[in-house]
Amino acid sequence: MAKKKKFKVKRGSVQETFLLPLWGRAYETKKARPRLIDRKAVEVIARIDYDFDTIAKTQEMSQHGWIARSLFADRTIKRFIAEHPRATIVNLGCGMDTTFSRVDNGQILFYELDLPDVIEIRRQLMGDEQGERHRYIASSFLDIDYFGQIEVNDGVLFLAGGVLMYFSEAQVRGFFVSLADYFKQCEVYFDYLSPRGIEMAKKMVLKKGGMDTQFEEGWGIKSASRINRWDSRFRVLSDTPMYKEVRGA
């Protein structure tokens, strides 16, 4: 049997940004005492033709952040599905995320949503992962026509890990209002950076890694409590500093 050709990623391409957290989880899984075990990430990384030594040399601190984000997301989802076993989870800007493989309880409905070109790459890399409870949506999360595709049986949770900071406050606020208008009641899990953190992220993650990807605006806030003032329907349920997980590395 012929050996399957690996998926090649060019230096300086947008595809590199998808690899960062994926590599981070695979790298963590291989440690002697991993904080997170993600066998799906290890499996997918093995299918990619790329010099990961470059990332390992430049992204050590960022890797801790990616793991912290995943740990927080996993806990949030597991708490949610403990109350809503047949919950609908929508993973916004999914990239090559592998959360479903870590949290599936055999009942949830999980949507992976990203731009069409990203979803096409995901199809190539992830293999036959789609099913009745694990579905793809090819769309910008801001183009809310896809709301009509989402089935809700027992509560809905939107995930936006490492996504919202790439957009303006007006875009984020408008999206949250659209969620409230359409779904009436839902929860959103997201991470955010301070305005200073946005500038640091541009320098440390993208430029230090030799990547061409840039984001000009970026949404940064000092406290999530600000969101409560956007709309009377909004309520921040929790706001936890991620550095506590990073410091535990």
Query: Could you give the CA distance from residue 85 to residue 98 in angstroms, rounded to a whole number?
Result: 19
Give residue-wise pLDDT tens across range 144-188. 999 999 999 999 999 999 899 889 999 999 999 999 999 989 999
Give residue-wise pLDDT tens across range 85-143. 999 999 999 999 999 999 999 999 999 999 999 999 999 898 778 899 999 999 999 99
pTM over 0.95: no
- Tokens for 113? 């949503």
What are phi and psi for residue 150, nearest 5 degrees?
-85, 120
Which domains does the chain show, CATH number per domain?
10-231 (3.40.50.150)
Give residue-wise pLDDT tens across range 16-26. 777 889 999 99
Locus of tokens 């049997």 = 1
Per-residue pLDDT band at 211 (split at 50, 70, 90): very low
pLDDT value of residue 217 = 66
Q: Of 72, 60, 76, 67, give the one whose Cα is nearest residue 22.
A: 67
- Tokens for 51? 């010099």
